[in-house]
Amino acid sequence: MRAGAGRYAPSPSGDLHIGNIRTGVLAYARARQQGQRFLWRVEDLDRVRPGAAESQRAVFADLGIVPDDDPLVQSARLDVYAEAIARLDEAGLVYECYCSRKDIQQAPSAPHAPPGAYPGTCRDLSEQERTERRATLAAAGRRPALRLRSENREVTVADALLGTITAPVDDVVLRRGDGVFAYNLTVVVDDAASGITEVVRGDDLASSAPRQARLAELLDLPEQAWLHVPLVLNESGSRLAKRDGAVTYEQLRARGWTVADVYGWIWESLGGPDPTSATGGSARWRSIEDVIAGLDVARLGSVPTVFVPPADDAA
């Protein structure tokens, strides 16, 4: 196998729906097409439902997808995240933030700052101000968050499907006020630890890629490639969700779907027969091997990906 690895990193907050599953299948197929390893990560620092991590992996095992190593479990790596923050801190890139969500909403935004960016309220406080604010928070039973001292500079990354993604990197939270290490930090630290060379995930996270690339750079970690794939939508054009009906693997199985049906639907979601190919491209997929053989990433963006849940015949 060539160097490099891909990954899938679902949050174990519940059952995966067909849209999440499609993203994981694409991540796996993309890694295999490039002769790479495929790794699994359990992002369990927040919103955990007991048993969900195991059942998510069992769904993928049913689909013929088994990662090449034991999953990386974030809750077992708290010292690694703390060490990353300590390194940024040594470089003078970390400061405490005492703001509540409301404080941030109500603060006037800094000139030229992108909308929604942290206004910089706690960026340049004196030591005395910090001591006071820390004490006020402590009296309310709260702790400060830690933020990155960024320069609000624009960062551009290249995406295999979207082209370039440019976004300003503001003073992102590194550790939340409740002590939980922030997603943007843990993703960067873990992708590097696992040797991930291309991140494949849903395009709802595309705008986070520049900030993650910048954090990786500041931590002296290698650059990655990116591929953000379209999310699956419901019939009204919004993001597919559990309330849309039979959307999880278990529910679809209960409606009579087979593994081949899951792959067949993924094939359809990518436009089915390829009109640009003389042979129509690959036949309807039935297995993960078919996806690896037939997936053409260039076609990913060309069709809207709507899922219409099968009706319950018994209802």
Binding interface with ligand GLU (CB under 6 A): 9-11, 43, 187, 201, 205
- Nearest distance, CB of residue 264 and ligand GLU, angstroms: 25
- Nearest distance, CB of residue 198 and ligand GLU, angstroms: 12
* CA–CA separation, 89 and 45 (whole Å): 22
* CA–CA separation, 211 and 165 (whole Å): 11
Q: Tell me the residue number closest to ligand GLU, measured at CB.
A: 201
Nearer to ligand GLU, 151 or 204 (CB): 204
Nearer to ligand GLU, 110 or 161 (CB): 161
- Nearest distance, CB of residue 200 and ligand GLU, angstroms: 8
If 0-12 CB within 10 Å is exposed, 13-18 middle and 19+ buried, where does residue 16 land?
Answer: buried
Nearer to ligand GLU, 45 or 117 (CB): 45
- Nearest distance, CB of residue 11 and ligand GLU, angstroms: 4
Nearer to ligand GLU, 11 or 305 (CB): 11
Nearer to ligand GLU, 190 or 290 (CB): 190
Element (H, E) at 315: none
- Nearest distance, CB of residue 9 and ligand GLU, angstroms: 4
Q: What is the DSSP string of 197-255?
A: -EEEEEGGGGGGHHHHHHHHHHTTPPP-EEEEEPPPB-TTSSBP-GGGSS-BHHHHHHT
Of residues 175, 161, 159, 169, the one with CA closest to residue 114: 169
SS3 111: coil
